[in-house]
Amino acid sequence: MCQNSQLVQSGARSRQGFPILTRQQASTSKKDSVRVLLIGGIHGDELSASSAVFQWMQWLPPSDSSPLHWNIVPVLNPDGMLAAKPRRVNANGVDLNRNFPTPRWNVEAQRYWVSKTGRDPRRFPGSSPLSEPESRWLSEEIKRFKPQLIISVHAPFGVLDFDGPVDPPVRFGALRLAPIGVYPGSLGAYSGNQVPVLTIELPSAGRLPEQAEMRRIWQDMLKWIEQNIPSSNQVAMAGAKPNAH
């Protein structure tokens, strides 16, 4: 599936120099399409997260019949995933999903790592926010692409988590909404106040759900996006409406 995914080099590289690969597919059927950033493999040992993204990429509708503009990053942490034993952290030992510049990161990220995780090396947030090339590139890509929705795929809690200003989904396939908390330096805490961040937690890190369930998750996700995520033009028009008072 990776070889059939039409990936290209983003120009960014991991800590060990592996290229971060992406695929963009813009809608040609809708002038003002919703921009969706889909990310897998932030944690290198969550193999199913990247596998799910590769699976869904095979089901993307043609650009002339899709209302969405996709920007897809199936493996953000290639060094962790391609290690002899896949690792959650990158090659520098940093948990990329704790390395984003959330408010008071310099105090809260280190404090949380020490007091809540007991200095767990799998959850080390790094020496400073965006200290890692992978998280730094993703932060820059969010600013460049300006998504209306960020979808981040993880495992193995088997739930949906959500940060953002729109109504969250209740259920995709068998996955139900069950918020798992906000963590200093996480992508959801970093972007969720302005851009909705949907976290899909698959039930197993090493095994995908059956294909029928993967299809249900995908179809429910597309339907929810269509019904709940406005395009940038719709947001601008709503903001320009005169005050009723």
Whole-number pLDDT of residue 186: 96
Write phi, then psi, for 142 (nearest 5 degrees): -60, -45
What is the token pair recorded at 179?
Answer: 């918020």
CB count in 10 Å sphere of residue 166: 15
What are the tens digits of pLDDT across the range 155-210?
Answer: 999 999 999 888 999 999 999 999 988 899 999 999 977 899 999 999 999 999 99
Whole-number pLDDT of residue 44: 97
Q: What phi-psi label fits residue 157: left (phi over 0), alpha (psi between -120 and 50 degrees) or beta?
A: alpha
Domain extent listing, the chain = 78-146, 147-227
**Residue 238 pLDDT > 50:** no
Helix and strand counts by DSSP (H, E) for the chain: 7, 9
Give the span between the Cα atoms of 194 and 164, in whole angstroms: 7
Q: From 61, 124, 58, 67, select the one nearest 96 (Cα to Cα).
A: 124
What are the tens digits of pLDDT across the range 85-136?
Answer: 999 999 999 999 999 999 999 999 999 999 999 999 999 999 999 999 999 9
Residues in CB range of 106: below 8 A, 6 or more apart = 128, 129
**Residue 29 pLDDT > 80:** no
Give the span between the Cα atoms of 104 and 40, in whole angstroms: 26
What are the tens digits of pLDDT across the range 60-81?
Answer: 988 888 889 999 999 999 999 9
**Residue 30 pLDDT > 50:** yes
- pTM across the whole model: 0.92
Residues in CB range of 185: below 8 A, 6 or more apart = 95, 97, 98, 99, 100, 101, 102, 105, 109, 125, 126, 129
CB 1 within 8 A of CB 116: no
Whole-number pLDDT of residue 13: 96
Give the span between the Cα atoms of 43 and 197, in whole angstroms: 17
Q: Which long-range contacts (CB under 8 A, 24 or more apart) does 1-9 make?
A: 1/51, 1/54, 1/55, 1/57, 1/58, 2/54, 2/74, 4/58, 5/54, 5/57, 5/58, 5/74, 7/74
Give the span between the Cα atoms of 146 and 148, in whole angstroms: 7
